[in-house]
Structure 1
Amino acid sequence: MKQKAQARNIKILVAKLGLDGHDRGALVLCRAFRDAGMEVIYSGLFATPERVAQIAEDEDVDAIAMSLLNGAHGTLFPRVVKALKKKKINDVLVVGGGVIPEIDHKDLIKGGVDHVFGPGTPLPTIINHINTGVGKLRKI
């Protein structure tokens, strides 16, 4: 478990889940997070939910940004949350993004994803959300 109110930079895992080989957006996020002062770990293509949870545990990340464009968000995003819970990881901000119909956002959030970002979301909006969310988690 992370110590409270750490002074270190945010460490974020950018996870490209499932059989989705389109990583341009994920790589743009990696660079934007790095430019914002975050330490970035990239899962690479075709990560499983269990692999994402393992990386999160091994690297002691503060946040996970999941990217998915192939329509499997309703299955894979909840499996990541479940895999984190199985490892008793409760202090990591989990967000998702990609081509995800707005009608699915509520169910994903109910299932433990903090926020879902759609195409065209400005990078500063995503960065600010992560900074705020991690800040709240660090104060717990």
Structure 2
Amino acid sequence: MHSTPGAAEKPIRVVVAKPGLDGHDRGAKVIARALRDAGVEVVYTGLHQTPRQIVDTAIQEDADGIGLSVLSGAHLTLFAQVMDLLKEEDATDITVFGGGIIFEADIPPLLGLGVAALFTPGTPTREITDWVHAHIGSGSAQAATDLASAW
């Protein structure tokens, strides 16, 4: 059982998105479910979202983070567009992380864009949920401590 935030503490809210033409969303749905089970509020945008739709959703939903799932090979372009739009909208306080089929050589450039973390296939969901609790939202360090002590 996980710890739930107190009345004074806002739960972490993450938009999980599938940008571009990639039509495979099983991994995104698994991550969305794992995050929900770990006490994170999740907004799943569905398939075929543009970077603009994703950023607009994150702003409208007052999200703390955006989790992008990309399997199409277009991760450099799609992540860059999301990061640029966040800057354009003065919303760089929204933490971006992602996963999918991301080539090892592409990880440093993505991190250089400001992407906070990347998770490749085979990463345990617990590692991702722990990272989200430790790095996203206000009070996230305490939430991670509470979660770890609950298990």
TM-score, reference length from structure 2: 0.84
User: Which residue pairs with 2:80 in the alignment?
Assistant: 78
Give the letter aligned to residue 75 of structure 1: T
User: Which residue pairs with 1:45 in the alignment?
Assistant: 47
Hey, what's the Cα distance between the residues in 1 that align with 2:73 and 2:19?
Answer: 11
User: Which residue pairs with 1:30 in the alignment?
Assistant: 32
After superposition, the C-alpha distances for 1:29-61 in whole angstroms (9 at most, x for unaligned) are: 111010001111011100101111100100000
Match for residue 106 of structure 1 among 108, 123, 127 = 108
Hey, what's the Cα distance between the residues in 2 that align with 1:30 and 1:117?
Answer: 14
When residues 138 and 30 of structure 1 are mapped into structure 2, their CA distance, relative to the original with a 3 A threshold, is closer
The yes-or-no answer on 1:97 pairing with 2:99 is yes
Hey, what's the Cα distance between the residues in 2 that align with 1:105 and 1:77?
Answer: 11
Match for residue 63 of structure 2 among 43, 61, 64 = 61
After superposition, the C-alpha distances for 1:55-99 in whole angstroms (9 at most, x for unaligned) are: 010000011110000100010011001111111002111001001
Hey, what's the Cα distance between the residues in 2 that align with 1:23 and 1:138?
Answer: 27
Unmatched segments (≥5 aa) in structure 2 = 1-7, 142-151
The alignment partner of 1:19 has SS state of coil
Unmatched segments (≥5 aa) in structure 1 = 1-5
Give the letter aligned to residue 38 of structure 1: V
Runs of 4+ displaced beyond 6 Å: 136-139
What RMSD, in angstroms, separates the aligned Cα atoms of the two structures? 1.6
User: Which residue pairs with 1:3 in the alignment?
Assistant: none
Give the letter aligned to residue 84 of structure 2: K
The alignment partner of 1:44 has SS state of coil
The alignment partner of 1:17 has SS state of coil
